[in-house]
Chain A
Amino acid sequence: MNEPIEIENNKDYEELIKSIENIVSSSKNKIANTINDTMVETYWNIGKYIIEFEQKGKVKAEYGQKLLLRLSKDLKLRLGKGYSRSNLYNMRKLYELYPIFQPLAGKLSWTNLCEILTINDEMERNFYIAEASKEKWSKRTLKRQMESGLFLKLAVSKDKDEILALAKTGQEINEPKDIIKSIYTLDFLNIEDKTDYSESQLEEKIIEKLEDFLLELGKGFTFVGRQYPIHIGNDFYHADLVFYHRILKCFVIIDLKINKVKHEDIRTNEYVYGIFCDRRK
């Protein structure tokens, strides 16, 4: 067993390196998550202490603001940065809105939580907590989704029970209608609403901002192509934008229409769809 092992191009050896890399990066992640969770719980506790202190002394609202200011000064001296008045305000608010910590455990970073605490509506807040933690949103993504009203846009085409479920568990994708929004917000294209533009110009802009467009479409979409060539009989057609949905495992074909949707648009589709459905049988 004293013979030197052949290291170059040795598959087992490469695997050894890979497994070590994997375990180190996964434990680094674990540590980061633990630190974050502990931090969030600590802040929640600070919020709890502040509220309990206020209740003991029956602190009036205007005094509450002064308390946070004073506390911020004293804590910064003793504990260093991170205890600004606005941060203390958020800690207080976190406890006020979520007096039980358990549902928040292990979900979000402190910065994302602070962002979500600005939402007044409870359903909406809970939706973003669920979705941001499931999808591991960055702060930028979370801000964008809040700004473009993701929850409201999904909720507006649902019934009451569906809205309650949406708020509780975030967006669940089981069938085609789950990925459809009634409104898509394309403000990032920077097109003036009143200007004249063609469908191909609109498509061009979308391609330029594909990353933003994918975010607006929602989770699970991957880009397949634009002006996708289609050959039916002796005729050539093009599909404007083609995506593939990873969760539903199907193509999603997007057709851009600047003017009113005519019955013909739908009939043509129906017709083409019908032909092929028949052929499949």
Chain B
Amino acid sequence: MYMGYFATEENEIDDNPPIGIILTRNNNELVVEYATYNMDTNLFVSKYELYLPNKEELKKLVDKIINEDE
């Protein structure tokens, strides 16, 4: 994704380092872990979906985060 190229060739003086997003159909959690563990850069891996999210499922996950920390 050539973040380095952008940092040196395209950035203006006031610009911050570029951010990269790998937008992927299959989000392989291991790879995400590897990516975030191994690099202290602004590279992120996210997944895209071609349908509306199941909000109830997401809500359950969010509720779990809220309740777990208590």
Quick check: B48 and A163 within 8 Å, CB to CB? no
**Among the listed B17, B23, B24, B34, which residue makes an inter-chain contact with A250, where contact means beta carbons less than 8 Å apart?**
B17
Which chain B residue has the least Cβ–Cβ distance from A161? B69
**A152 adjacent to B46 (CB under 8 Å):** no
Residues of A within 8 A of B55 (CB): 149, 152
Number of interface residues of B (CB under 8 A): 55
Residue contact B10 to A251, C-beta cutoff 8 Å? yes
Nearest 5 A-B pairs (CB), nearest first?
Answer: A276-B4, A152-B58, A160-B69, A250-B16, A273-B4
Residues of B within 8 A of A (CB): 1-11, 14-28, 31-32, 34-35, 38-39, 41-53, 55, 58-59, 61-62, 65-66, 68-70
Chain A, residue nearest B6 (CB):
A251
CA A274 – CA B63 in complex, angstroms?
A: 39
The interface size of chain A toward B, counting residues with CB under 8 Å, comes to 62
The A interface is mostly helix, strand or loop, or mixed, namely mixed
Can you list 7 contacts pairing A with B, beta carbon distance less than 8 Å? A149-B53, A160-B65, A176-B44, A186-B49, A237-B2, A261-B26, A279-B8
A249 is an interface residue with CB less than 8 A from chain B: yes
Cα–Cα, bound, A186→B51 (Å): 7
Contact status A276-B1, CB under 8 Å: no
The residues of B that contact A184 with a CB separation of less than 8 Å are 23, 46-49
A150 to chain B minimum Cβ distance, whole angstroms, is 10
CB distance from A199 to the nearest CB of B (A): 10
Cβ–Cβ contact B19 & A245, under 8 A = yes
**B-contacting 9-mer, from A21-29, A34-42, A56-64, A187-195:** A187-195
Residues of chain A contacted by B15 (CB below 8 angstroms):
249-251
A142 to chain B, nearest CB (A): 15
Which residues from chain A contact B24 at a C-beta distance below 8 Å?
Answer: 256-258, 260-261
Docked-complex contact B21 and A159, CB < 8 angstroms: no
A residues within 8 A CB of B28? Answer: 260-261
Q: Which residues of A contact B32 (CB under 8 A)?
A: 261
Near B by CB (< 8 A), chain A positions 163-203 give: 163, 176-177, 179-187, 189, 191-193
Whether B43 pairs with A277 at a CB distance below 8 angstroms is no
User: Quick check: A257 and B66 within 8 Å, CB to CB?
Assistant: no
Residue contact A270 to B20, C-beta cutoff 8 Å: no
Q: Which of A160, A183, A280 contacts B48 (CB 8 A)?
A: A183
Report if A46 contacts B (CB, 8 A): no
Query: Does A255 sit within 8 A of B, measured CB to CB?
Result: yes
Report the separation of the CA atoms of residues A258 and B50 in the bound assembly, to the nearest whole angstrom. 12
- Using CB atoms, name the residue of chain B closest to A251: B18
Contact residues in B for A15 (Cβ distance below 8 Å): none
With both chains docked as a complex, state the minimum distance between the C-beta of B53 and any C-beta of chain A, in angstroms. Answer: 5
Q: Is A275 an interface residue (CB 8 A)?
A: yes
Cβ of B37 to closest chain A Cβ, rounded Å: 11
